[in-house]
Amino acid sequence: MTSETTTSDSTRAESRARNTDPRYSKLTLGVCPDQWGVWFPQDDKQIPWEKALEEMAEAGFEVMETGPFGYFPTDPARLKQVMDSHGFRVVAGTGWGILHKAEAWADTERTFRAIAETHAAVGAEYIVHLPPLFRDDKTWEWTDERTLSPDSWKLYVDNANRLGAMLKDEYGLAMVLHPHGDSHIETPEDIDRVLSATDPAYVNLCLDTGHIVYGQGDPVEMVRTYADRVSYVHIKAFDPALVEQAHAEDWPFGEAVARGASVTPPAGEPDMHRLVDALADLDKDLYVIVEQDLYPADPAFPLPNAIATREYLADCGLGKR
């Protein structure tokens, strides 16, 4: 992580992103479009990016993960201009990509090269790999096998290493794998399996606390277990009762979100004070990106909700008011 800043905009970008308490000062707070209900590059139910970006700045955020590639401008010069004009520093991009099917590699590579070219050009440091889901985010229909065969799992691991090596060696970007509900990396067992099999030089973990709760894991315990592999964080909370019901009744992940499973801290799990303390105990620079799964969101909801979330997390030691 780049801790030195050289311009007035970059200096301003640290004003609320880091707590001045030495215990928490290595944790940098950021935001991404998910907090504004954005799951897709384009969707009529989503808030236009211009309005979302203005509101993200108004809410007090200054560090950005850009979310679905194509939501914000993809031309590097244009992306930098709009982010600079709103006081944002881009630290990461995000992409979906199929790794467990040989015929999908060309498309996955093409997608991630486009994301990497844009984000390397604007000074980002990370690319978040989101796994493909086995149920569609919108229709909730089955799109893939729920359980991978041994051969498919081996290809998943091999291509994760391959993609991570490409991003690091050719673009200088670190890849982190993102656990996700309704994906092949959902449960603690899934996460352990993929981390045990992949090369830490090229593949590490985006600790998404909400999805880990959804996968019925303990994010605080995961921080301690995978201290060397936690390289990037999405911080959010889920209602454990609705999570339990979702699994008992086999809801699609999108249905769980539609029923309110993703909640505003301090509601839900994990306990944010314990989580932020555990992250601080790692004693390493980490971007911690605020998220809440809200698709589709009432346009009036994200701004006040994000302000309340940011201020609550500041009280936990993450960022400052």
Give the pLDDT score at 137: 84
Give the pLDDT score at 7: 38
Give the pLDDT score at 199: 98
Number of Cα atoms under 13 Å in the Cβ half of residue 151: 2
The number of folded domains in the chain is: 1
CATH number, domain with residue 23: 3.20.20.150
> Which amino acid does the sequence have at 217?
G
Local mean pLDDT, 10-residue blocks, the chain (321 residues):
42 74 97 97 96 98 98 98 98 97 98 98 98 89 92 97 98 98 96 98 98 98 98 98 98 95 98 98 98 95 98 98 92
Domain membership of residue 1 (yes or no) is no
- 312, 281 Cβ separation under 8 angstroms: no
Give the pLDDT score at 1: 62
Q: Is 177 helix (H, G, I), strand (E, B) or coil?
A: strand
Give the pLDDT score at 15: 82
Q: Is 22 helix (H, G, I), strand (E, B) or coil?
A: coil
Residue numbers of the domain that contains 282: 8-315
- Specify the residue for token string 């809200």: 294
Domain membership of residue 105 (yes or no) is yes
Domain membership of residue 78 (yes or no) is yes
Domain membership of residue 113 (yes or no) is yes
Domain membership of residue 321 (yes or no) is no
Domain membership of residue 2 (yes or no) is no
Domain membership of residue 294 (yes or no) is yes
Give the pLDDT score at 2: 46
Domain membership of residue 303 (yes or no) is yes
Give the pLDDT score at 318: 98
